Structure 1
Amino acid sequence: MIEKRQFYINGQWVDPAEPHDLQVINPSTEEPCAVISLAGEADVNAAVAAAKAAFPAWMATPPEDRIALAEKVLQVYEARKEDMAQAMSIEMGAPIDFSRSDQWGAGYGHTKGFLNAAKKFQFIRPLGDHAPNTRIVYEAAGVCAMITPWNWPMNQVTLKVIAAMIAGCTMVLKPSEESPLNAIVWAEIMDEAGVPAGVFNLVNGNGLGAGTLLSGHPDVDVVSFTGSTRAGLAISANAAKTLKRVHLELGGKGANLIFEDADDDAVARGVRDMMDNTGQSCNAPSRMLVQRGIYDAAVETAARVANSITVGPADQPGSHIGPVVNAVQFDKIQGLIRKGMEEGARLVAGGPDRPEGFNRGFFVRPTVFADANNQMTIAREEIFGPVLTMIPFDTEEEALEIANDTPYGLTNYVQTQDPARANRLALKLRSGMVEMNGQSRGQGAPFGGMKASGIGREGGSWGLEDFMEVKAISGWDAKTA
């Protein structure tokens, strides 16, 4: 049993003011793998106080020095790759090979992206030729509370911590209590890299406890949260009492529009992307909209691909998918699969209950529903598991209407060999991101959504700006600056 009850506050590992133990469950075995302590009010106050005390000096540190320290953090992160991959695998169920590549790699890629953006970023810039003595200054927003999820731990930790650190902010990180071990390794990395005391602080806790204390704390200037839309609404309401800035990266119900002229791999690629990370991604293409002329063939392909995806324990090497994170998620997914069957969608792959050969662990069968409509529960709610919903359409206008008929607006996908149609749809889809024909967004592209999918953008220069205030200065003397 791993015991990690301490918090990282003001550059030191400290015991909680009052012990409140919580067991971390390995989702592959349903057995405890670690024990942590949940922070109380005294712990949160101590972490925020440390961040507040460290802020003036860190904000005054030249940007090039903050960037150099972020580069050192990246070096240590590379050296601790295996420790980080093992932590994420055991606590949230990412298969170990996937954890080493994609889960760890997401943190590496985002950090590289921030470093590239920061080296080009003008923290002090002229307003324009019409106002030669006016300057626009980007300066740190203050003390930041960061509340991160369990599904892509290092993806979200680096998107927040590295951006805020380069921006000149100080911070308190509260990871999900479902996946706290990776954040503890991250705190060790920050310490080894030489991040000054108080700039980065870590407390473990749950949403109702430490999360509520942080989002409503009067000395916190910014709350950056990734998680469910329901929790995002609660955090926004709590934060509003102290007029702090709130960044939210929330849920999604992405539509994948596949037209008759899509490339041959479009359907199979869509299924694989849906099942990636056991379907536990907010930007998953969970609604596959297929044009009528190729619909029957697409259903056959989707079923075949889903049935070919294997499921296995997280500690085993291979390209299989692992369990979902916990019993609550498992039960929710099972209920939604049964709901899809009750509402009349045609089950063509997978289904309820564990895969054959599993009687323990939160394993879910890769599942595909066909002949759904956009009013069914499985087309409206974010399932957050390996469940794909297929919906037929006839015209481009109908596909667009179905795709936009959702409270979410994170990522949509377009598959067509007609460039004009692709561009036309990309501009009309109401989402913060659109990916076309299997092409990933470039490094440093902003990540974030519209509507119930959130507020703000993460990654690249946009991610840096989310942790900065904009100051306008007149009468600037360029000769002395």
Structure 2
Amino acid sequence: MTLKTGQFYIDGTWVDPVSPQMLPVLNPATEEPIAQIAMGSAVDVDAAVAAANRAFDSFAATTKAERLDLLAAIRAVYERRYDEMADVIRQELGAPASLCQRAQAAVGIGHLDGFVRALEAMAFEEINAEGDLILREPIGPCGLITPWNWPINQIALKVLPALAAGCTMVLKPSELTPLNALLYTEILHEAGVPPGVFNLVNGDGLNVGAAMSRHPDLAMISFTGSTRAGTAITQDSAATIKRVTLELGGKSPNIILDDADLEDAVKRGVRHCFQNTGQSCNAPTRMLVAASQYDRAMELAAEVAKATQVGDPAAEGRHIGPLVSQMQYDKVQALIETGIAEGATLLAGGPGRPEGMNRGYFVRPTVFGDVSNDMTIAREEIFGPVLAMIPYTDEEEAVRIANDTPYGLAAYIQSGDVDRALCVARRIRAGMVHVNGSDIAFGSPFGGYKLSGNGREGGACGIEDFCEIKAVSRPA
């Protein structure tokens, strides 16, 4: 596979950047470069936005049936190139091969199927109870800015609903994991996405992301990433009053109620926290346990952490890989040190690399006990395999602690009584609540409350985010 790393995709063709500047893409497991990508500028963004604007009228006029056919074509090409997608994500993100095969690459198909089901059922024209005609129309050319941690997941959650709604777009993927986006671009091209409908410009947030957010000819920005960056994008977009949808950070609680199977709940919760090396916005990073069961829960969590293998992403297995970058490694190390300094008890892991590793951004799976919810490790998103365990006295306190966070992306509840868990779920201020290890289905809304963002991705809600609503009155 030879990707066009030195070019951008604009108006259906690969083009050279206006002012070539190259950035190495590193393999996080080796710290060695695996590619050099071209970095764009505001001038490149202007060209991509112009192409999206030229293509908008004709693509917006396509029928639902035509867009369903296009999604089917994309699925067919993606399936054929599935193994390539899994492998390129492994190389640039450092996610283990097994995780890339069964999850990282798989979401590109799962989300597509969810959008197809939603699009098939969606009415773009209907008569409301008052007798007016209500139209859902594509909002216009859109800017899509995606992160590195689940790269094709977020690209699919933005590109596919934009296509389903009839929008054109410009994508800026993360400069840390741009290769999967280049491969996806080839998939879209081969599937027959019309020229100008999809455009890609690589670059950083300061130059390309900000130029997109400020651009007067983009009707919408859809962003996934940090809350800090989401704030900047919102401010940059304010002058042009464009729609901004944000999927941001999280500090998700995992409430283990006192009637749950403690051993199963704790072990499953620790493994989930460590999945993707903790680099998931919805990771259950605060484990809340009844005080009467807290000591045993800490023992169980420490056992799981100590048994968690850290290893080469190229190897098969359920081990975890490295963090994505030196910056991320330094951030996680600093927060582990902060947890120790603030008085939390280090039950497993700690600072530094795992034993025997002297290169790569590998970290030790870490569990802290004796954590209070006002500690830094309980307030800030760490984005590494670091779990904070917090005791509670009763269900009321568990709910209060769970909601005592500036975030509200996800929450997890474990109980021997599903009805009890559902009652607690209704009291949690989060966009998604998972009961007893269950997961939100493809096609259901993904998103959060508070500093975790606004808007929803996936299925019908995801398509609707790319639509404007028009009311048309008619004479009696």
Letter in 2 for 1:99: C
Query: Within 2, Cα distance between the matches of 1:373 and 1:421?
Result: 25
SS of 2:9's equivalent in the other structure is strand
Letter in 2 for 1:179: T
Q: 1:476 to 1:320 in 2, by over 3 A?
A: farther
Q: Deviations over 1:317-369 (max 9, x none)?
A: 22111100000000000000011011110111111000001000000111000
Q: Is 1:3–1:35's contact at 8 Å kept on the other side of the alignment?
A: no
Superposed, 1:89-100 pairs within 5 Å as 89-100=90-101
Q: Is 1:174–1:202's contact at 8 Å kept on the other side of the alignment?
A: yes
In the other structure, the counterpart of 1:146 is 144
Shift of 1:374: 0.4
In the other structure, the counterpart of 2:221 is 223
Q: Is 1:373–1:391's contact at 8 Å kept on the other side of the alignment?
A: yes
Structure 2: stretches of 5+ with no match in the other structure: none
Q: Deviations over 1:427-460 (max 9, x none)?
A: 1111111111111123311000000000100001
Structure 1: stretches of 5+ with no match in the other structure: none
Q: Is 1:289–1:391's contact at 8 Å kept on the other side of the alignment?
A: yes
Identify which range, 248-257 or 433-442, moves more after superposition: 433-442
Query: Within 2, Cα distance between the matches of 1:200 and 1:119?
Result: 22
Q: Is 1:27–1:361's contact at 8 Å kept on the other side of the alignment?
A: yes
In the other structure, the counterpart of 2:410 is 411
Q: Deviations over 1:3-48 (max 9, x none)?
A: 6110000000011011011011110001111100111122110000
Shift of 1:261: 0.8
In the other structure, the counterpart of 2:422 is 423
Identify which range, 414-423 or 43-52, moves more after superposition: 414-423
**How high is the sequence identity, in percent, across the aligned residues?**
55
Identify which range, 180-189 or 73-82, moves more after superposition: 73-82
Letter in 2 for 1:204: N
Q: Deviations over 1:141-188 (max 9, x none)?
A: 001000000000111000000000010000000000000000000000
Q: Deviations over 1:292-319 (max 9, x none)?
A: 1211111111111111110112122221
Query: Within 1, Cα distance between the matches of 2:436 and 2:376?
Result: 28
Structure 1 stretches of 4+ with a deviation exceeding 2 A read 418-421
SS of 2:408's equivalent in the other structure is coil
Query: Within 2, Cα distance between the matches of 1:209 and 1:21?
Result: 14
Letter in 1 for 2:78: Y
In the other structure, the counterpart of 1:237 is 235
Query: Within 2, Cα distance between the matches of 1:307 and 1:142?
Result: 51
In the other structure, the counterpart of 2:297 is 298
Superposed, 1:246-395 pairs within 5 Å as 246-263=244-261, 264-395=263-394
Shift of 1:259: 1.4
In the other structure, the counterpart of 2:7 is 6
Shift of 1:126: 1.5
Q: Deviations over 1:49-93 (max 9, x none)?
A: 000000000000111101110111011111111111111111111
In the other structure, the counterpart of 1:118 is 119
Shift of 1:288: 0.2
Q: 1:476 to 1:446 in 2, by over 3 A?
A: farther
Identify which range, 317-326 or 230-239, moves more after superposition: 317-326
Q: Give me the TM-score of the superposition, normalised by structure 1.
A: 0.97
Query: Within 1, Cα distance between the matches of 2:82 and 2:266?
Result: 33
Q: 1:282 to 1:476 in 2, by over 3 A?
A: farther
Query: Within 2, Cα distance between the matches of 1:101 and 1:7?
Result: 29
Q: 1:218 to 1:295 in 2, by over 3 A?
A: same
Q: Is 1:414–1:434's contact at 8 Å kept on the other side of the alignment?
A: yes
SS of 2:407's equivalent in the other structure is coil
Query: Within 2, Cα distance between the matches of 1:208 and 1:197?
Result: 27
Q: Is 2:3–2:182's contact at 8 Å kept on the other side of the alignment?
A: no
Shift of 1:419: 3.4
Q: Give me the TM-score of the superposition, normalised by structure 2.
A: 0.98
SS of 2:350's equivalent in the other structure is coil
1:204 is aligned to 2:188? no
SS of 1:265's equivalent in the other structure is helix
SS of 1:241's equivalent in the other structure is helix
Q: Is 2:266–2:301's contact at 8 Å kept on the other side of the alignment?
A: yes
Q: Deviations over 1:386-407 (max 9, x none)?
A: 0000000111111111111110
Query: Within 2, Cα distance between the matches of 1:230 and 1:204?
Result: 21
In the other structure, the counterpart of 1:84 is 85
Query: Within 2, Cα distance between the matches of 1:120 and 1:421?
Result: 33
Q: Is 1:2–1:33's contact at 8 Å kept on the other side of the alignment?
A: no
Superposed, 1:55-74 pairs within 5 Å as 55-74=56-75
Q: 1:67 to 1:254 in 2, by over 3 A?
A: same
In the other structure, the counterpart of 2:52 is 51
Query: Within 2, Cα distance between the matches of 1:415 and 1:176?
Result: 35
Query: Within 2, Cα distance between the matches of 1:436 and 1:142?
Result: 38
Identify which range, 311-320 or 246-255, moves more after superposition: 311-320
Cα-Cα RMSD: 1.2
Letter in 2 for 1:15: D
Q: Deviations over 1:178-208 (max 9, x none)?
A: 0000000000000000100000000100011
Q: Is 1:351–1:367's contact at 8 Å kept on the other side of the alignment?
A: yes
The number of equivalent residue pairs is 474
Q: Is 2:3–2:183's contact at 8 Å kept on the other side of the alignment?
A: no
In the other structure, the counterpart of 1:473 is 472
Q: Is 1:39–1:210's contact at 8 Å kept on the other side of the alignment?
A: yes
Letter in 1 for 2:241: L
Q: Is 2:418–2:435's contact at 8 Å kept on the other side of the alignment?
A: no
Query: Within 2, Cα distance between the matches of 1:306 and 1:107?
Result: 30
Shift of 1:476: 8.0
Query: Within 2, Cα distance between the matches of 1:441 and 1:470?
Result: 27
